[in-house]
């Protein structure tokens, strides 16, 4: 008997395959919560028709949240958001002449009516984007909400453990 493959609920879309090393942590984070995802490389400017078609059909395919990453001023998140009613989370990618500031500004500066939530530059961005997608879906899925609450509790315990370690080192002198 073949294992049942879960239908993707989150889309991870990147403008270039060179973005995958950064975005792999989003995929791993979603997997930790047992959230199925799909990954695509679609360019806002080199394949704009594909971007529009992909985004327009995402909800019909069962996608609940789109995570979008692109570098430079190529605002893939905005293009995807223009063609769907799903939540889109933009992940600005560091690099280029402005070291990611152009990506951050193009992702965060959306006109009224086309929202794109935006996370930070760097390695925390994809993880936070995935966690935000989990939080959105947990609003209607108590089991996922429970998993997220347990995750937050583990974060809290990690801080307490770190504090205890530092205090022990300080006392040892």
* CB-based burial, 43-60: b 16+ in 10 Å, e otherwise: bbeeeeeebbebbeebee
Residue 75 pLDDT grade (very low, low, confident, very high; cuts 50, 70, 90)? confident
Quote the pTM value.
0.92
Tens digits of per-residue pLDDT, 36-63?
Answer: 999 999 999 999 999 999 999 999 999 9
Query: How many Å apart are CA 38 and CA 21, to the nearest integer?
Result: 15
Tens digits of per-residue pLDDT, 121-162?
Answer: 999 999 999 999 999 999 999 999 999 999 999 999 999 999
Query: How many Å apart are CA 32 and CA 148, to the nearest integer?
Result: 10
pLDDT score, position 5: 54
Phi/psi of residue 75, each to 5°?
A: -90, 80
Start-to-end Cα distance in the chain: 61
Query: How many Å apart are CA 161 and CA 155, to the nearest integer?
Result: 10
């Amino acid at each position: 008997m073949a294992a049942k493959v879960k239908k993707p609920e989150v889309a991870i879309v990147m403008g270039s395959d060179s973005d995958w090393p950064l975005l792999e942590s989003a995929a791993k984070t979603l997997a930790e919560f047992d959230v199925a995802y799909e990954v695509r490389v679609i360019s806002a400017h080199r394949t704009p028709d594909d971007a529009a078609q992909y985004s327009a059909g995402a909800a019909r395919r069962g996608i609940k949240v789109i995570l979008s990453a692109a570098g430079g001023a190529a605002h893939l998140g905005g293009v995807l958001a223009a063609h769907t009613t799903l939540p889109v989370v933009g992940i600005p990618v560091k690099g280029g002449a402005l070291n990611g500031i152009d990506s951050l500004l193009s992702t965060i500066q959306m006109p009224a009516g086309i929202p794109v939530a935006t996370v930070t530059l760097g390695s925390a961005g994809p993880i936070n984007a995935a966690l935000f997608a989990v939080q959105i879906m947990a609003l209607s899925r108590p089991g996922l909400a429970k998993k997220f609450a347990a995750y937050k509790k583990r974060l809290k315990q990690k801080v307490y453990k770190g504090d205890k370690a530092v205090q022990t080192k300080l006392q040892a002198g």
